[in-house]
């Protein structure tokens, strides 16, 4: 898929050039993922526990992206899932999840993507989430809107909870930490049309931006899971709020109409 044809009107020269590079990295990482998807004997191992998988495709996507950043932006900081931090304290920082949705990927399920964000002083100014099997590329530049394959996207306008379709996730540390979202899922399920567990936080956020989901919440995510997708959802008009102070990135992302009622239901008694 040729992502270079997608443009956002009104970008500054520097924004245009960052976006072009982010597209290039996303496209090549997507090609690597497709080379391994549904291939027999995919090389893989586990990290925190059996639910936390990493494959050769995660590593090769990351290697490609890191090489590109080293060559083109040697002075920039980087945080990426499999390699950690580089050049800490720099103004510009790339935030990379080389393959989000690895459990899906390793099982042959199509909801997986590469997520690339660029931050300036800790604030995301650009985000690209590219799902190569689905051929969906979501992207946003701060103040310039959010887009899917060349079309501007907006979050949904639904206001009735009983018609809302929500996405969520289940944290990797669910067995050790009782704050594991189980009660919230059971509770919300009684009020909404449906709850989905897609298995990719970056896709959940992008789909909320596009109005495919009306809202999304999840606990204990990492910066690389959310940096690009949050900017996409925000630029599409969604409200984003942190819902825990002690649990990494724990967020509710919703269209503005449903936000107050979902926020209330998620409140801990
Ligand atoms: C995971 C996915 C999943 C979410 C997990 C993430 P990974 O990322 O985004 O949807 O529930 O918390 O860690 O491990 O596939 O990159
Ligand atoms: Ca991830
Ligand atoms: Ca990942």
Q: Give 142-190 pLDDT, tens digit per residue.
A: 999 999 999 999 999 999 999 999 999 999 889 899 989 999 999 999 9
Q: How far apart are CA 225 and CA 239, in angstroms?
A: 18
What's residue 46's pLDDT?
A: 82
User: With a 6 A CB cut-off, is 97 part of the ligand 1 pocket?
Assistant: yes
Tokens of 14: 């520097």
What's residue 269's pLDDT?
A: 53
User: With a 6 A CB cut-off, is 100 part of the ligand 1 pocket?
Assistant: yes
**What is the distance in A from the centroid of ligand 2 to the CA of 13?**
30
3-state secondary structure of 103: helix
**What is the distance in A from the centroid of ligand 2 to the CA of 203?**
10
Whose CA is closest to 221, among 262, 168, 184?
Answer: 168
- Long-range contacts: 59-63, Cβ < 8 Å, 24+? 59/98, 60/32, 60/36, 61/29, 61/32, 61/33, 61/98, 61/99, 61/114, 62/96, 62/98, 62/99
What's residue 95's pLDDT?
A: 98
Q: Which residues of the chain have pLDDT under 70?
A: 269
pTM greater than 0.85 (yes/no): yes
Within 10 Å of residue 55's Cβ, how many Cβ atoms? 19
User: With a 6 A CB cut-off, is 169 part of the ligand 1 pocket?
Assistant: yes
């Amino acid at each position: 898929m040729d992502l270079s044809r997608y443009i956002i009107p009104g970008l500054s020269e520097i924004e245009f050039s960052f976006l072009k590079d982010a597209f290039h990295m996303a496209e090549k990482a997507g090609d690597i993922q497709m080379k391994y998807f549904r291939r027999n004997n995919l090389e893989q191992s586990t990290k925190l526990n059996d639910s936390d998988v990493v494959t050769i495709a995660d590593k090769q996507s990351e290697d490609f992206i890191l090489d590109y950043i080293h060559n083109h932006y040697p002075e920039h900081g980087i945080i990426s899932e499999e390699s950690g931090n580089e050049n800490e304290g720099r103004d510009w920082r790339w935030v990379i999840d080389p393959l989000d949705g690895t459990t899906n990927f390793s099982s042959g399920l199509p909801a997986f993507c590469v997520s690339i964000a660029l931050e300036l002083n800790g604030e995301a100014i650009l985000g690209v989430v590219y799902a190569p099997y689905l051929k969906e590329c979501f992207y946003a530049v701060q103040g310039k809107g959010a887009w899917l394959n060349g079309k501007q996207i907006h979050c949904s306008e639904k206001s009735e909870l009983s018609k809302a379709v929500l996405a969520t996730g289940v944290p990797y540390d669910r067995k050790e930490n009782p704050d594991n979202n189980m009660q919230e899922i059971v509770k919300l399920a009684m009020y909404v049309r449906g709850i989905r567990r897609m298995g990719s936080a970056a896709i959940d956020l992008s789909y909320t931006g596009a109005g495919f989901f009306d809202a999304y919440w999840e606990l204990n995510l990492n910066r690389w899971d959310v940096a690009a997708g949050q900017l996409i959802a925000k630029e599409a008009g969604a409200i984003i709020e942190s819902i825990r102070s002690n649990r990494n990135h724990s967020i509710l992302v919703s269209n503005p109409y449903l936000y107050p009622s979902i926020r209330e239901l998620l409140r801990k008694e």
